[in-house]
Structure 1
Amino acid sequence: MRVAILAHEKFPERAKTALGVLRYADYDVAAVLDRDSAGSRVSDYVPDVQDAPIVGGTDDLEEDAVDALLIGIAPIGGDFDERWRPDVRTALEYGCDIISGLHYFLENDEEFAELAEENGCELRDIRKPPADLTVAEGIAGDVDAEVITTVGTDCSVGKMTATMELARDARAAGYDVGVVPTGQTGIMIEGWGIPIDRVVGDFTAGAVEEMIVELGDEHDYLLVEGQGSLVHPAYSAVTCGILHGSMPDKLVLCHDAGRETIHGYESFDLPSIPTYVDLYETLSAPVAETEVVAGTLNTADLEDDAAREAVDEYADVLGVPATDVIRHDTDEMLEAIL
């Protein structure tokens, strides 16, 4: 499928959904929409993902250039920015499907629903969970697969990236690994999953458990995509639900080099790394005995030598192997988690 990715004024730093799709998904990306960077290319900013031209809007594309418009931004709160409306409207008039991971469901937007019907388009609200979810039964630990869950010191520290990179490298090394996607970007990449941050609170652990049971006897290992952080003022409940629902055998702690405060809540300082290890292992213990066996560090803002030093320091603090999964190899990490 050929897609255009909407990332207005956010590419690449604040468009993690766009970057995830460009790096891991099977879509053929015809263009990225960012009015601030129009006229350049993806490779001008990010060299190690699928390349594409950056254009100012959907009306800069030929009418039959793409099959779908994918919203590649995940703003806090997941709301729809009205400045995107002309691009979505034009895409629907072109006959394109719309793929959205927002909390704002496009199918409930009267204008978009009418245009979709008129032009034979599909509005795919990725963040709409199944209607038949229920509470967990505490059976995720019974599956044949070994379960490894990525957890974080904050949101936007690279949990999805770590999950996808480790899965890709493990598969390339001959391991039988399945991925359990829990967020909109992971679902877009893998083509299935449940958006945990949209699930009724009582059913969060049950939704994760359902996915693990579905895949758990088909693979030797399952990598569960983490969300948020146990200390995040807004997202801690989702993190806890994933932790208890997945009943992990092992944990991978993801961190962003140099981050000292919580993203979007800068009045809250991040605890120490050992505090996180203790929090995750202790909270999991009544449900599943687990431990942090590896760590990933996002060093995108550092030069090469500083990045290597930061990774080494992070590994020393954790006392387990660590790496930047984009910058460095994952061999030592795979040995630790598989």
Structure 2
Amino acid sequence: MRVAILAHEQFPDRAKTALGVLRYADHDVVAVLDRDNPGEQVSSFVPDVQDAPIVTGMDDLEPDEVETLLIGIAPIGGGLEESWRADVRTALEYGCDVVSGLHYFLSEDEEFARLAAENGCELRDVRRPPDDLTVSDGVAGDVDAEVILTVGTDCSVGKMTTTMELARDAREAGYDAAVIPTGQTGIMIEGWGNPVDRVVSDFTAGAVEEMIVERGDEYDYLFVEGQGSIVHPAYSAVTCGILHGAMPDRLVLCHDAGREAIHGYESFPLPSIPSYVDLYESLAAPVSEASVVAGALNTAGLDDDAARDALEEYAAELDAPATDVIRFGTDDLLEVLL
């Protein structure tokens, strides 16, 4: 599928969906839309993902160049920025499908729905949950697979990336492993999943459990994409729902090197790393004996020497192996996880 990715004014640092698709999805990315960097290449900013030209907007592309527009960014609250409307409109006029992970459903937008109908396009809102979800039965722990969940000290610390890297490398090492997608990026990459941050609160654990049960007897290892953080003032409920619904066997704690406060909520300092370990293990304890056995640290803002120092300190705080899965690979983590 030939896709363009919308990432206006947030590429690459705040466009984690765009980066996830560029790094892991099986798509031919023909362009990234970013008004701040037209004329550049993706490789100028992120060298280890699929390369593509950066253009100002959809009208810089020819109609036959692209089949689908992906919304590759999601602001806090998941609303549609009105400045994106022209690109979505142009895509639909070109006959392109539009895939969105926003809480704002494009299929319910009158203008977009009309244009999609006129041009035979699909508006796919991946954050629209299924209608048949229900409460958890408390049976995820009964599946044959080992369940590994990524948890975080905050949002946007690398949970999705760590999940994808671990699952991919486990498969390459000969293990039968699958990803359980719980957010818009994972769903766009894997092509299925339940968007747990859009699910009715009572059904959150059930939405995760449903996926675990569906895949749990087909694979040896399930890597569950974590969301939010247990201390996040806005998103902790999602984190708890995933933890209890998945009933994991092991946890991987993800952190962003140097982050001291919750992103977007800077009046809330991050607790210590040992505090997170205690919180996650204590919260899991009523439903599973999950423990934090490894850590993943995002060291993108550091040079190699500083990154290695930060990893050594992080591993000591965790009392467990830790790595930057992009910079240094996953071998140390897979050794304790598999």
- State the TM-score bracket (shorter-chain normalisation): over 0.9
Q: Deviations over 1:229-282 (max 9, x none)?
A: 000000000000000000000000000000000011000000000000000000
Alignment of structure 1 residues 96-245 onto 2, 5 Å: 96-245=96-245
Task: Give the aligned partner of residue 53 of structure 1.
Answer: 53
Q: Deviations over 1:268-325 (max 9, x none)?
A: 0000000000000000001111100000000000011101110111011111110000
TM-score, structure 1 normalization: 1.00
Task: Give the aligned partner of residue 42 of structure 1.
Answer: 42
Task: Give the aligned partner of residue 296 of structure 1.
Answer: 296
The Cα of 1:42 is off from its aligned counterpart by 0.1
Aligned pair 1:259/2:251, yes or no?
A: no
Q: Deviations over 1:39-80 (max 9, x none)?
A: 000000000000000000000001111000000001110000
The Cα of 1:29 is off from its aligned counterpart by 0.1
The Cα of 1:32 is off from its aligned counterpart by 0.2
Question: 2:106 is aligned with what amino acid?
Answer: L
Output the CA distance in 2 between the equivalents of 1:214 and 1:310: 39
Output the CA distance in 2 between the equivalents of 1:25 and 1:95: 22
Output the CA distance in 2 between the equivalents of 1:176 and 1:311: 29
Question: 1:219 is aligned with what amino acid?
Answer: Y
Output the CA distance in 2 between the equivalents of 1:53 and 1:111: 29
Task: Give the aligned partner of residue 3 of structure 1.
Answer: 3
Output the CA distance in 1 between the equivalents of 2:247 and 2:329: 28
Output the CA distance in 2 between the equivalents of 1:63 and 1:317: 53
Output the CA distance in 2 between the equivalents of 1:61 and 1:207: 39
Q: What stretches of structure 1 of length at least 5 have no aligned partner?
A: none
Q: Between the two proteins, what is the percent identity of the paired residues? A: 79
Output the CA distance in 2 between the equivalents of 1:103 and 1:265: 20
Task: Give the aligned partner of residue 281 of structure 1.
Answer: 281
Question: 1:56 is aligned with what amino acid?
Answer: T
Question: 1:119 is aligned with what amino acid?
Answer: N
The Cα of 1:329 is off from its aligned counterpart by 2.0
Question: 2:263 is aligned with what amino acid?
Answer: H
Q: Deviations over 1:107-149 (max 9, x none)?
A: 0000000000000000000000000000000000000000000
SS state at 1:64 partner = helix
The Cα of 1:332 is off from its aligned counterpart by 1.4
The Cα of 1:222 is off from its aligned counterpart by 0.4
- Runs of 4+ aligned structure 1 residues displaced above 4 Å come to none
Aligned pair 1:316/2:316, yes or no?
A: yes
Output the CA distance in 2 between the equivalents of 1:95 and 1:290: 48
Q: Deviations over 1:132-172 (max 9, x none)?
A: 00000000000000000000000000000000001111111
The Cα of 1:5 is off from its aligned counterpart by 0.2
The Cα of 1:203 is off from its aligned counterpart by 0.1
Cα RMSD, aligned residues only? 0.4
Output the CA distance in 2 between the equivalents of 1:120 and 1:70: 17
The Cα of 1:330 is off from its aligned counterpart by 1.2
Q: What stretches of structure 2 of length at least 5 have no aligned partner?
A: none
